[in-house]
Amino acid sequence: MTATDTSSVGHGTDSAVETIRRGLSYSPEIRAGLGLTLVLALVATAGRVVVPIAVQQTVDRGLLNPAGPDLGFVRWMCLAAGIAVLVTAGCAYLMNVRLFRASESGLATLRTIAFRHVHDLSVLTQNTERRGSLVSRVTSDVDTLSQFVQWAGLLFVVSLGQLIVATVIMAVYSWQLTVLVWICFLPLFVLLRFFQRRVSAAYGVVRERVGEMLGAISESVVGAEVVRAYSIEDRTQQRIDAAVDRHRRAATHAQRLVAMSFSTGEVVAGVANATVVVVGVLLGLAGELTLGALLAFLFLVTLFVGPVQVGTEVLNEAQNAVAGWRRVLGVLDTPADVADPGTAGVALPRGPIEVRFEQVSYAYPDGPTVLHRVDAQIPPRSRIAIVGETGSGKTTFAKLLTRLMDPVEGVVLVDGVDLRQIRFASLRDRVVMVPQEGFLFDDTMAANVRYGRPGASDEEVRLALTELGLADWLDGLLMGLDTPVGQRGESLSAGERQLVALARAYLADPDLLVLDEATSAVDPATEVRLARALEGITRGRTAVTIAHRLSTAEAADEVFVFDDGRLVERGRHTELVGAGGVYARLHAAWTTQAR
Amino acid sequence: MSSVTDQSDQVTLREGLRVLARAIRDEPAIFAVAVAGSAVYGVMTGLAAVVIGRITDDVIVPAFQQGQTTTSALALAALAIIAVSTLKAAGIVVRRYYAGVMQYRLQASYRRQVTRRYLGLPLSWHHQHPTGVLLSNANADVEASWYPIAPFPMAIGVFFMLAFAIVSMVLTDAALAAVGLLVFPAILLINLLYQRRLSPLATRAQALKGELSGIAHESFDGALVVKALGREADETARFGAAARELRDANVAVGRVRGAFDPVLEALPSFGVLAVLLVGSARIAAGTLDPGAVVSVAYLLMVVAFPVRAIGWVLGELPRAAVGWRRVERVLRVSGALPYGDAALPDATDPADVRVREVSFAYVDDRDVLHGLTLDVAPGRTVAVVGPTGSGKSSLAGLLVRLVDPRTGEVLVDGVDVRRLARGEVAESAALVFQQAFVFEDSVRENVALGRLVSDEEVWAALRLAQADRFVRALPDGLDAVIGERGATLSGGQRQRLALARALVRRPRLLIMDDATSAVDPEVERRILAGLRDAELPATVVVVAYRRATIILADDVVYIEHGRIVGRGTHDELMTSVDGYRNLLTAYERDAAERAALWADEDDDLLTGEEVAR
């Protein structure tokens, strides 16, 4: 089975402005109070020119006073400047805190919305290989944004403001020098843009290499047993070393570009300073500029270099942040293919469930059709066994039945209602599927069983296990119900995980129970015990079992036989086994296996 | 959930400095180059201010006072400024580039060392450490250890800059120098305070980030269960709570940052104003030139920002020390799996296997095998049967020395496997696991695993494992890449590939640990028939539940609770061992009993339905 890449989620192609606009609409917290924050930012930025002005004033009106240095003036001026610096700092603090609080609140909301949405995407349950990238949508992509705001967002705004304010002040002192400074810095903008494109390309390569490296390293951990059993330590180490080295080279290359791009600003600043000195003196001689203004200018140029450098570095991160934002929005833009109708939907009363499939087809996005026009009825309280070879469409049928996916064509009716119109709250209450791989959460045994019915007491959990005939097994565990199951339940065996998964579903007390080879990893004796317990439990409910052994099919009220995506035979075991069709063939293979 | 601020994560400054010292010891030459670049940068930063001051005194002020200047004076001034800034830029390039070189070389070196340990340590060690922790030791922890290396050379350059600044201030004017000398320690102090306040908050935010990511991973991995039980809202609440906690932690970080940044910026400003005040008084008294004031003020402005680099390094140290601690824990583990130097005969005939009084435990004194003794004569096929958790897989692992017995010994061709040289066991024996691990590589490489085998041999092995058909259907056949970023295989397909991996090596001892459990019965039948017809020159041990597999064996060993309860042919065990019979006939007995009961239940159901109507 080859998964198609196209079944992954959208990545979004909006422009940066559009991305920001739409991103803000998901995080209204960022906008709230933004006006005041910007006013504070304006004050904080403007405050940065206080010191250069103070230098100019001191020199021109204090020191070069024709009547000798005016110390009184200098004192008052420095006091005023000191107060201005304090106000600036206060505004900067307030602005920082407001910005952080607003943006972090907005991002927490965005994360949570995206997380919820991912659970509604069928990609999640169909394409296990793409899960990692979905995780990064709600973690690292949002973290990039948060980091950007924390480290750079403010810097960017302030830098931009500083550039503007410095330009204005410089123009007040001397428009000629201002034009010259801009002429010196303009090529830098162009140059930095050029560097920046190469830097982000280089970092793209680094990210790719990181992925490869992590994959290689994980072989030495996840594949440790195979590595040891086949004595391929040297080969594995070579692969790791090669991947580690490729990452090192890519990262070093990116670093070189960053270093070069950063230092060009320094050279340009030198040229600008030299120009200011030469032209400033000449302008001064022509009577166009005072000495203080020229000195202030030299300080103002330092205000210019910083923002340009910071601005370009930040611009890089800004691009990353916007790209991350775009990816998160891409997830939100991917339509929830299996959407909850919510309160607009129908709530079904409890009771035995009847299901009808009418001309149901299913195909993976851009993939082949895996289920063809299936018509089927599952009467209330019936026990149905589903059989067929791997890839025949059994699991697809089960997933459509439980609305883990929606059909491409046709309709699945539960008690006469289109499955898509039933409220999730009501549906999940009544219809529960136990998948083959019993996934457990990193918690205790009790918590995992209780996952089926939050609020169930320890006694109820224990009762559920007892009713399934698992009391002995439970008592044999080191800490009983409090036994931690480990990450993904890895402290338990595959068979034991299935037992917990079964108990979990049983505790949920559904009207329709769907078992997808839910006991395939336990030994035959235990499986038979479980099967019997289940039969007792499912009496009075509708039960659909994907069977991997004969006796399940023999015991069913009706057997559905799937072959190559079609429901080819249905009937009782006794009828089908003599019919000479697919079932008879499967039965023959089973018999030689088991007997 | 683990607590976020673990007591054991508290580190001292000394521990952090030791990490820096190790970095220098590891890469002294590159460090020296980076520091040299940084020194040039530092000195030139200070020199730039001095040059501006001198130009003010010698060129600008005279020009304004005398109303004239010379071209050479202006040219010299311009040249001096440009020369200093070019040198400074060169210093920056060298500093930043070599800091990066050093950081990435250290990362690479320690990633190699850590994974080397992983590959050398016994599997018993692996079993005791969660996968996630080991992966993060090799990745995130190594990265964190060497994170402070990036700003480290700059921080050292800053000392040069400070030294230069202080000396030139003192030379300019002692009183102005006193003002400057007050500002620098204040900046340093604020920095230290800042980092001390920030680092626990930043560490906590980092840990919460990891926790949030853990929740997302788990929730998405278990998506089928979440959906099947309709727990999306609860999962969202769980994630939302963690997201809010992270938000608060980030805001707390922001609050500290937001407070300190303006202070750090205001300090040099106050310094400059103080210099202006003191300077004007001294100019008025006629003891100072305006140039000196400008020079010192300028020096304060340009030096203030880089001084923070010292804070950056100090701020990263706690995280680095914690990361290094974890990396070191792996590097320090003693007891790589020891190998002997014995070799197995270079034969092609089946191996002789003897297990002598073997007890084995994963965790201390909780034996899963108790004094087990088992001989398998060359060329025989033995089936190992037993209930879930009886110790079958442990036995399989012992045979190829994946683990060592606590007591007793495993002999292959009469040699204790612990005495064999590295690679010797794998040369003769192949174990096929139930959970087939797939390398992210081509099909060919997944089968060959570095061995020099022809495509024909690979195809032959795939054919025997009934894997040739689906491999042929892959877009690139043997070259098709499988694994996380490649084609997805079903569980049964993975198992068949893993079987081919074992078969291509023509093992003299083949061990299959429930290796066809996910394969369709019909396909399994073909595999077993193929193996039988191929007349492999191998001793075969097969762990199985399915009878079709078992009856192919020459004899059967039945294990319960880590002890051999019976051994003999299938028929013998069926008559003599209750547990074996119960296990093997579970399905039939079930079917038989069911047939008897079934009719009654059916009637009940019908009655029930009629009542309902």
ipTM reported for the complex, 2 dp: 0.85
pLDDT at A583 over 80: yes
Place B1 in a pLDDT band, splitting at 50, 70 and 90: very low
pLDDT at A170: 87
Q: Do A381 and B609 touch (CB under 8 A)?
A: yes
What is the rounded distance in angstroms from the CA atom of residue A377 to the CA atom of residue A453? 29
Q: Which residue of B has its CA nearest to A514?
A: B228
What is the rounded distance in angstroms from the CA atom of residue B128 to the CA atom of residue A534? 36
pLDDT at B607 over 60: no
Place A562 in a pLDDT band, splitting at 50, 70 and 90: very high
Place B599 in a pLDDT band, splitting at 50, 70 and 90: low
Among residues A488, A393, A398, the alpha carbon closest in space to that of B228 is found at A398
Average pLDDT on A252-260 reads: 91
Tens-place pLDDT, residues B500-511: 999 999 999 999
CB burial of A294-329 (b: ≥16 within 10 Å; e: otherwise) equals bbbbbbbbbbbbbbbbbbbbbbbbbbbbbbbbbbbb
CB burial of B422-439 (b: ≥16 within 10 Å; e: otherwise) equals eebbbbbbbbbbbbbbbb
- Interface membership of B60 toward A (CB under 8 Å): yes
Tell me the CA end-to-end span of chain B in Å, nearest whole number.
53
Average pLDDT on A320-324 reads: 81
B246: alpha, beta or left? (left if phi > 0; alpha if psi -120 to 50)? alpha
pLDDT at B6: 44
8 A C-beta contact, residue A360 and residue A410: yes
What is the rounded distance in angstroms from the CA atom of residue A387 to the CA atom of residue A379? 18
What is the rounded distance in angstroms from the CA atom of residue A54 to the CA atom of residue A255? 39
Pick from A485-489, B210-214, B255-259: least confident: A485-489
Place B486 in a pLDDT band, splitting at 50, 70 and 90: low
CA angle B366, B371, B375 (to 5 degrees): 135
Spell out the residues 6+ positions from residue B172 whose beta carbon is closer than 8 angstroms to its own: B53, B292, B295, B296
For residue A127, which residues of chain B lie inside 8 Å, CB to CB? Answer: 488
pLDDT at B550: 86
pLDDT at B11: 65
pLDDT at B613: 36
Question: Which of B61, B229, B262 has its CB closest to that of A89?
Answer: B262
CA B314 to chain centre: 25
Q: Would you list the DSSP string of B539-561?
A: EEEEE-S-HHHHTTSSEEEEEET
pLDDT at B606: 45
Among residues A504, A24, A81, the alpha carbon closest in space to that of B228 is found at A504
Average pLDDT on B603-610 reads: 45
Could you give the percent of chain A with pLDDT greater than 90? 22
Question: Which of A285, A505, A540 has its CB closest to that of B69?
Answer: A285
Widest CA span of chain B, in angstroms?
123
pLDDT at A288 over 90: no
Pairing verdict, β B441-442 and B481-482: antiparallel
pLDDT at B473: 86
Among residues A544, A497, A537, the alpha carbon closest in space to that of A520 is found at A497
Q: Do B590 and A528 touch (CB under 8 A)?
A: yes
Average pLDDT on B288-298 reads: 79
Q: Look at residue B419 and give its three-state secondary structure.
A: helix
Q: Look at residue B363 and give its three-state secondary structure.
A: coil
For residue B547, which residues of chain A lie inside 8 Å, CB to CB? Answer: 593-595
Tens-place pLDDT, residues A461-513: 999 889 888 888 888 777 888 888 877 777 777 778 888 888 898 898 889 99
Query: Is B604 exposed, middle or buried, given 0-12, 13-18 or 19+ CB atoms closer than 10 A?
Result: exposed
Q: Would you list the DSSP string of B174-209?
A: HHHHHHHHHHHHHHHHHHHHHHHHHHHHHHHHHHHH
Q: Do A274 and B212 touch (CB under 8 A)?
A: no
Report the gap between the CA of B18 and the closest CA in chain A (Å): 24
pLDDT at A5 over 70: no
Compute how many other C-beta atoms are within 10 angstroms of the C-beta atom of residue B348. Answer: 10
Report the range out of A231-245, A288-302, B59-73 with the highest average pLDDT: A231-245
pLDDT at A223: 86
8 A C-beta contact, residue B523 and residue B466: yes
Query: Is A42 exposed, middle or buried, given 0-12, 13-18 or 19+ CB atoms closer than 10 A?
Result: middle
Q: Would you list the DSSP string of B11-72?
A: --HHHHHHHHHHHHHHSHHHHHHHHHHHHHHHHHHHHHHHHHHHHIIIIIHHHHHHS---HH
CA distances from A213 to A208, A534, B299 (A): 9, 46, 46
Among residues A403, A410, A400, A398, the alpha carbon closest in space to that of A361 is found at A410
- Bridge partners (DSSP) listed for residue B441: B482
pLDDT at A3: 34
Q: Look at residue B420 and give its three-state secondary structure.
A: strand
pLDDT at B80 over 80: yes
pLDDT at A7: 40
Query: Structure pTM?
Result: 0.81
Tens-place pLDDT, residues A512-538: 999 887 777 777 888 887 787 777 777
Tens-place pLDDT, residues B329-362: 999 988 777 888 888 887 788 999 999 999 998 7
- Interface membership of B583 toward A (CB under 8 Å): yes
Report the gap between the CA of B514 and the closest CA in chain A (Å): 10
Of B63 and B435, the structure prediction assigns the larger pLDDT to B63
For chain B, the average pLDDT equals 86
pLDDT at A315 over 90: no
For residue A288, which residues of chain B lie inside 8 Å, CB to CB? Answer: none
pLDDT at A404: 85
Tens-place pLDDT, residues A411-457: 999 999 999 999 888 888 888 888 877 788 888 999 999 988 888 89
Q: Where are the alpha helices (DSSP H) in B56-70?
A: 61-66
What is the rounded distance in angstroms from the CA atom of residue B144 to the CA atom of residue A550? 55
Report the gap between the CA of B35 and the closest CA in chain A (Å): 15
pLDDT at B514: 85
Q: Do B488 and A237 touch (CB under 8 A)?
A: no
For residue A391, which residues of chain B lie inside 8 Å, CB to CB? Answer: 490
Q: Do A488 and B221 touch (CB under 8 A)?
A: yes
Average pLDDT on A380-391 reads: 88
Q: Look at residue B347 and give its three-state secondary structure.
A: coil
Compute how many other C-beta atoms are within 10 angstroms of the C-beta atom of residue B263. Answer: 16
pLDDT at B294 over 80: no
For residue A63, which residues of chain B lie inside 8 Å, CB to CB? Answer: 280, 283, 290, 293
Q: Do A274 and B492 touch (CB under 8 A)?
A: no
Residue type for A43, please? V
Among residues B376, B332, B325, B336, the alpha carbon closest in space to that of B354 is found at B376
Tokens of A363: 């195909």
Average pLDDT on B449-465 reads: 93
Whether the CA torsion A347, A350, A351, A357 is positive or negative: it is: positive
Average pLDDT on B153-175 reads: 87
Average pLDDT on B204-232 reads: 85
Please tell me the total number of residues recorded for chain A in this structure: 595
Compute how many other C-beta atoms are within 10 angstroms of the C-beta atom of residue A375. Answer: 12
pLDDT at A130: 64
Among residues A27, A503, A429, A564, the alpha carbon closest in space to that of B230 is found at A429
- Bridge partners (DSSP) listed for residue B383: B542, B556
Average pLDDT on B27-56 reads: 91
Place A341 in a pLDDT band, splitting at 50, 70 and 90: confident
Tens-place pLDDT, residues B4-27: 334 445 667 788 899 999 999 999
- Strand order through the sheet with B415-416: B367-376, B353-361, B407-412, B415-416
Tokens of B270: 């106050």
Please tell me the total number of residues recorded for chain B in this structure: 613
For residue A247, which residues of chain B lie inside 8 Å, CB to CB? Answer: 104, 108
8 A C-beta contact, residue B449 and residue A230: yes
Question: Which of B74, B234, B524 has its CB closest to that of A278?
Answer: B74
Place B597 in a pLDDT band, splitting at 50, 70 and 90: low
pLDDT at B135: 85
Of B249 and B529, the structure prediction assigns the larger pLDDT to B249
Residue type for A557, please? D
Residue whose tokens read 């407001």: A98
pLDDT at B210 over 90: no
Tens-place pLDDT, residues A357-374: 999 999 877 677 889 999
For residue A500, which residues of chain B lie inside 8 Å, CB to CB? Answer: none
